[in-house]
Structure 1
Amino acid sequence: MSDMTETGRAGRSRMLPMAAIAAVALLGAFTLGDVLSFEALRDNRAALLAYRDANLGLSIAVFMTLYVIIVVFSLPGALVASLTGGFLFGTWLGSLVNVSAATIGATGIFLAARWGFGARLAARMDMSQGPVKRIKAGIDSNQWSMLFLIRLVPLVPFFVANLIPSMVGVPLRRFVISTFLGIIPGGVVYTSVGAGLGEVFARGETPNLGVIFEPHILLPLLGLCGLAALPILLKALRGGKDI
């Protein structure tokens, strides 16, 4: 009985990080909508630019810390944070800062989920039989392609793309590499929009946040998705054999 009690306690303790993330995310959804907004960026742009000019290195460190917190706890404002990165640091430095911070935050969610339930779920899938076993085997044999696909497809929520790999036993190194590389296209798009916010503010307009769905952006992204899916298709045509 004591062993079962200890096992139960250990299982509950493993869920604490994910429970904390869920609680902060819920609280943030009701309290931070107006704080992490485009309007807040517009109204505070002069102070932000002045602070950046006086403290570039510290500005990058503080910005990345805040971005990581936003991603880890799934707080509202991730898109505004990407725009802010471009506004403060330009397209190329801003893209590096945004993508790096998003990858660190995504890794935090991945590790919390894997420690809480992902590792046990993946182990159970490995030991199962029938369709579940075949699905898990198919995922394992196409991990790189599937990881890039869920990052490149604009319709897959970022939080979901962090949870799924934790539930199917994706190695940490593979998750980090595919996340960093896979979010670069979308990250550059939104960072470049942020880099042009000075002109948008001057005209009294709002940025086009749906730019990623415009044909000249969406079609290249779909092309990258097709390249990511190509190994899966070729393997299927070859009867499941490795290419």
Structure 2
Amino acid sequence: MKRPAERTLRSALSQTVRSSFFWTLVAVGAVGIAGRLWMNSQSDPAGAVRAFGVMAPLAALTLQTMTIATPMGSSVIPVVNGMLFPLALAVALNLGAGLAGGTGMYYVFRRGEREVGIQKRVSAMPAWARRFARTDLMSLVILRMLPWAGGSLATALAGVYGVPLRVHLLSVFLGSIPGSVIYALLGAGIISR
């Protein structure tokens, strides 16, 4: 006979896997990983983007937006932007991709909260973990600046807790400025690793 906790966990897992939110996350993650793998497989990433000709900025923006949706977005594309384009355009492309990817994932997590009730599951976490689930502007900006998954986590929190879109977009913009500038400068060769 199954224990009540086991039944509850199994029911929650089953509900999550059957939700369109889960399959949207899987699809977005797969597309992002495919874009990242393609970009990383190129012997000359800058040449691969340059091959798009006049459409190169749009191609770079699209590729970067695709990889932003993955928990560990690619840092190759923002650096390539700095190599190929004038510094201001490279920074603008990096920020634009951050805003586009952040907005898309914000709505994915809003939908996830409606379908799966993520907030309820977060409230079941230990108290020490719950205190990090802060949704004020400063916390979201600081969280977004953490390497790798910080941006994804900030976007997930904003979507799940229903942070107003304007606050989320401001946190994405402010939190993405340092990384956008640094990666573009690295690509331009102005600063070195």
Q: TM-score, normalised by structure 2?
A: 0.69
Q: Per-residue deviation at 1:16?
A: 2.5
Deviates more, 1:186-195 or 1:164-173: 164-173
Matches within 5 A, 1:54-203: 55=54, 58-73=55-70, 78-117=74-113, 120-122=117-119, 124=120, 139=134, 143-154=136-147, 157-196=150-189
1:118–1:168 contact (8 Å) kept in structure 2: no
Amino acid paired to 2:28: I
Q: CA 1:40–1:162 in 2, change beyond 3 Å: closer, same or farther?
A: farther
Q: CA 1:145–1:158 in 2, change beyond 3 Å: closer, same or farther?
A: closer
1:87–1:194 contact (8 Å) kept in structure 2: yes
Amino acid paired to 2:180: G
Q: CA 1:84–1:150 in 2, change beyond 3 Å: closer, same or farther?
A: same
Q: CA 1:113–1:135 in 2, change beyond 3 Å: closer, same or farther?
A: same
Q: CA RMSD in A?
A: 3.8
What do residues 195-242 of structure 1 show as CA deviations (whole Å, max 9, x unaligned)?
128xxxxxxxxx95xx4xxxxxxxxxxxxxxxxxxxxxxxxxxxxxxx
User: What CA distance in whole angstroms lies between the structure 2 residues aligned with 1:173 and 1:100?
Assistant: 15
User: What CA distance in whole angstroms lies between the structure 1 residues aligned with 2:85 and 2:58?
Assistant: 12
Q: TM-score, normalised by structure 1?
A: 0.57
What do residues 166-198 of structure 1 show as CA deviations (whole Å, max 9, x unaligned)?
23332222111110121101210110110128x
The match for 1:35 is 41
What do residues 11-66 of structure 1 show as CA deviations (whole Å, max 9, x unaligned)?
7123321132244456667x547426xx4326x27x82x754xx2xx322222122
Q: CA 1:19–1:157 in 2, change beyond 3 Å: closer, same or farther?
A: same
Q: How many residues align?
A: 175
Amino acid paired to 2:170: I
Give ranges in structure 2 of 5+ residues lacking alignment: 1-14
1:90–1:192 contact (8 Å) kept in structure 2: no
Give ranges in structure 1 of 5+ residues lacking alignment: 1-7, 198-206, 212-243
User: What CA distance in whole angstroms lies between the structure 2 residues aligned with 1:14 and 1:189?
Assistant: 34
The match for 1:19 is 26
User: What CA distance in whole angstroms lies between the structure 2 residues aligned with 1:60 and 1:27?
Assistant: 19
User: What CA distance in whole angstroms lies between the structure 2 residues aligned with 1:95 and 1:33?
Assistant: 19
State the identity %. 24
Amino acid paired to 1:91: L
